[in-house]
Amino acid sequence: MTGAADPAAAPPCPGADGMTDRGVPERGVTTDRGVTTDRGVTTDRGTAERAAEAAAAPSWESATAGEVLSAYLHAQAGDFLRSLRLHRESGSDVREAAEAARLLRRAARRISGALYVYRPLTDTAWSDELRTELAWLSGTLAREHAYAERLDRLRGALHRLSGAGGPS
């Protein structure tokens, strides 16, 4: 190399690495050296403290299948609820509604798939009932998308017939 900094190694934007544009850690950001206080002073963290934090972090290698499933379902439920809110807030914007419906269907499929794969770890009656409801929701969202497309085509045909020169 010529000694120039590698642009790929640089953070994508100022502050993305926990540092301000002056090279000083942002307040409240944990760095390898420590935690930056409100006054901008970095307090040193000892090796023992970093080791204790690492030990407190969940280790997927020692986690049970139930713990892994619980964490995965929790994440997917969060995605599902965010998508549901996005779908509700999309209003009359067709593109936003379509994207929200796609995200809802994806989250529903992932939850349903996880419940199917890990069925022996769950209450089978509960998981089967939830999978049935998720399949119904996914089908309803698919029909909503198909109806919106059909309505768009119908409006275009009506505009062409009326000579208004609408969308073609």
- Cα distances from 46 to residues 49, 53, 55, 57, 132, in angstroms, run 5, 11, 14, 17, 52
Q: Is the pLDDT of residue 51 over 90?
A: no
Q: Span 111-126, mean pLDDT?
A: 92
Rounded CA-CA distance 76/129 in Å is 18
pLDDT tier, 124 (very low <50, low <70, confident <90, very high otherwise): very high
Helix (H) or strand (E) segment spanning residue 145:
helix 124-162
Q: What confidence tier does 6 reach under pLDDT thresholds 50, 70, 90?
A: very low
How do the domains of the chain map onto residue ranges?
Answer: 11-52, 65-161
87 band by pLDDT with thresholds 50, 70 and 90: confident
The CB-based long-range contact list for 123-126 (8 Å cut-off, 24+ gap) reads: none
Specify the pLDDT at position 32: 47
